[in-house]
Amino acid sequence: MYLPEQVILSRTIAAHSQAEQVEAVVRQHARFVYQVAYAVLRHPQEAEEAAQETFIRVWKHAKELAGILNQRAWLARIAWRVACDRRRKYPAIATNEDLPELPAVGIGAEESAIRNQQLALLERMIATLPRELRETLTLSTVEEMTSVEIAEVLDIPGSSVRVRLLRARQLLREKVQVLMERKKKDGTKRFNAGVET
Amino acid sequence: MNHEEPKDAAEHLDERWMDEALERFGAAEPRAGLETRILANLEAHAAQRQRRCIYTFAGAAAVVLFGVMIANVLSSKRSASMNEATRTLPAEVNSSSRGHKVAVGLPETSVHERHAIAHKNVTGNRMVLAADGVKQEQSHADKQLFAQGQSSSQNDLTQASEQEPESVIAQEHPAPEIYVSDLKTIQPIEVRELAPVKNIN
């Protein structure tokens, strides 16, 4: 009679400690997981649901939590996969552009509009990048995500991450330059047209 | 140098713009209370899983119980039918004699044939069983005839035993009691040799 009671007690303690561990992980990394999901999905509601799903998966593998060295990278990997699955499942997820955005506190309406335009432009430019570069750049935008963590998430060496980031930024810069030149040309054309009239 | 300076400045401007844009691109703040919502969802998920476990266990137990009940009913039915079969089928009871017969190499006969032979050997061809309501007085001639018949039946029996080993087997292994009792319920009939009908005309 003594042994089963002891076993039950130890299991209860283990389950309790696991629950505590999961809770600690949630409190510590929820925002980070949300940001990883958001980087992929670009939609607040979807990103939150992806974060929920990520932590359900973490809870299912709670026994492994103690043995994981880099919890952030592990979580980022799960969140990345969950978000990619969600995007594949629901390809017609509305982006931020479709949603009405509330004006940011302390920023003027004009500035806010310019920022939104910039963001929309950048999103469009990132979307035109090759998939490998796009994934690496998207993850690099997530706050405090190191190249080592990105390498773990994408399962590639760290040096490849750095090379990809450089190439992605270079491509983006070229695109921005082309865009600016086009705008300048359009501006002079408009100016000439105004003078002629 | 003068030509390169504005180019560098433009590049620097592009770089700065891109950094800012990328920073804003990744800086997504969740709604307040994300952790609480996630923890509540986890609790609900755990409770749901526990409930599902209980339902699964209860369902499995019910299925096992149902299976045991069905097996019990089937086995009781089978035993009942087996009992009935042993009661009604004499062939199965008599299987040992049949096996013996097969081992000896004698030709198999049907149950009815075997009992007919046995009946024949016990009563003889002309032997008649007295029915319950048959009169006790019999004529002397009849008695003589009966004695003759008995002797002839004995002769027939010896002949039959020589000719037909079936009768011997039937005598050695009589039909089971139950079957015989069924036969007993049939009223034996009196067969008499009728005197030739005289021409009335």
Residues of B in contact with A122 (CB under 8 A): 18, 21-22, 25
> Cα(A50)–Cα(B38) distance, rounded to whole angstroms?
11
Q: Inter-chain contact A44–B31, Cβ cutoff 8 Å?
A: yes
Burial A92-126 (b: 16+ CB within 10 A, else e): eeeeeeeeeeeeeeeeeeeeeeeeeebbeebeebb
Nearest residue of A to residue B10, measured between CA atoms: A177
Contacts of B39 in chain A (CB under 8 A): 23, 26
Work out the pLDDT band at B186, boundaries 50, 70, 90. Answer: low
- Amino acid code (one letter) for A10: S
Pairwise CB contact (< 8 Å): A169 & B45: no
* pLDDT score for B69: 94
Distance of alpha carbon B187 from alpha carbon B43, whole angstroms: 86
Minimal CA–CA distance to B90: which of B69, B110, B119, B120?
B110
> What is the Cα–Cα distance from A104 to A109, expressed in whole angstroms?
8
The residue among B123 and B21 whose pLDDT is bigger is: B21
CB–CB contact B28 A35 (8 Å) = yes
Residues in B closer than 8 angstroms to A47, CB to CB, are 28, 30
**Beta-carbon separation of B18 and A173 below 8 A:** yes
**What pLDDT score was predicted for residue A21?**
85
**Which one of A5-9, A25-29, A115-119 scores highest in mean pLDDT?**
A25-29
Tens of pLDDT, residues B93-147 = 455 555 455 545 555 556 666 666 655 555 544 444 444 444 455 556 566 666 6
Which residues from A are below 8 Å from B49, CB to CB?
A: none
Distance (Å) of CA B137 to CA B132, B140, B142, B148, B164 = 13, 9, 10, 18, 36
**For chain B, how many helices (H) and strands (E)?**
8, 0
Whether B28 and A173 lie within 8 Å, measured CB to CB: no
Q: Given this model, what pLDDT does residue B167 score?
A: 61
Could you tell me if B34 and A34 are in contact, meaning their C-beta atoms sit under 8 angstroms apart?
A: yes
Mutate to test the interface with A, among B11, B12, B23, B34 (most CBs of A within 10 A): B34
* Mean per-residue pLDDT, A140-169: 88
Where are the alpha helices (H) located in chain A, listed in sequence order? 2-41, 44-60, 71-89, 109-127, 131-141, 147-154, 158-196
Q: Please spell the DSSP secondary structure of B133-155, one letter per residue.
A: TS-S---HHHHHHHHHHHHHHHH
Q: pTM of the prediction?
A: 0.56
* Range of weakest confidence among A82-91, A113-122, A141-150: A113-122
Cβ-Cβ contacts under 8 Å for A158 (sequence gap 6 or more): A147, A148, A151
Answer yes or no: do B41 and A35 touch at CB < 8 A: no
Interatomic CA distance for residues B21 and A33, integer angstroms: 21
- Closest CA of chain A from B45, distance in Å: 8
Q: Give rounded-to-5 percent helix, strand, coil for chain B.
A: 70, 0, 30
Q: What ipTM is given for this predicted complex?
A: 0.71
Kindly state the DSSP code that residue A34 receives in the 8-state scheme.
H
Q: Which of B23, B24, B45 sits opposite A56 (nearest CB)?
A: B45
Cβ pair B28:A48 closer than 8 A: no
Compute how many other C-beta atoms are within 10 angstroms of the C-beta atom of residue B21.
Answer: 20
% pLDDT > 90, chain B: 15
Tell me the pLDDT tens digit for each residue of B30-64.
888 999 999 999 999 888 888 888 999 999 999 99
Q: Is the pLDDT of residue B179 over 90?
A: no
Which residues of chain A have a Cβ shorter than 8 Å from any chain B Cβ?
22-23, 26-27, 30-31, 34-35, 38-39, 44, 47-48, 51-52, 55-56, 59, 115, 118-119, 121-123, 126, 137-138, 140-143, 169, 172-173, 176-177, 180
- B21/A44 Cβ within 8 A: no
Q: Chain A to chain B, count of Cβ pairs less than 8 Å apart?
A: 84
Amino acid at B131: A
Q: How confident is the model at residue B169 (pLDDT cuts 50, 70, 90)?
A: low
List residues in chain B touching A: CB distance below 8 A.
11, 14-15, 17-18, 20-31, 34-35, 37-39, 41-42, 45-46
